[in-house]
Amino acid sequence: MQITGCKDCSDYEKTVKELRGEIVCLRFELNKFKSDFFNRKKKPRSKSKKKTSKRSKSKIGGLFGHIGWFRQTPDKIDKIVEVRITECPVCGSSDLRQCQGTIQHTHRT
């Protein structure tokens, strides 16, 4: 679509055309990076006998994009512990005020 008229309109049209071209390039790069990231091919294992450490080299935690798994909350709570501090753990000041809210943490032993 070509707009004829004032100079400002033609400048805007030129800028829009450049930006649309840049968007197309960026979308192409994004799709390329996504496909490279999610479609990694595993390297074939070498047949040489190397000493392997006892510790695994795998990543800790779940796989990227998978739904998390959590333990169920217990049916019965054995004890309730109220924890209060006497000084600020960051600056060490003893001038503390009462907290407006509480934090609940369920710990299984």
Q: Please give the angle made by the CA atoms of 13, 18 and 20, to the nearest 5 degrees.
A: 95
Decide if pLDDT at 28 tops 50. yes
> What string of H, E and C letters represents the secondary structure of 21-77?
HHHHHHHHHHHHHHHHHHCCCCCCCCCCCCCCCCCCCCCCCCCCCCCCCCCCCCCCC
Query: Are 17 and 9 spatial neighbours (Cβ–Cβ below 8 Å)?
Result: no
For the segment 70-98, what is each residue's pLDDT rounded down to a tens digit?
777 778 888 888 888 888 888 888 888 88
Query: pTM value?
Result: 0.31
CA distance linking residue 62 with residue 38, whole number of Å: 15
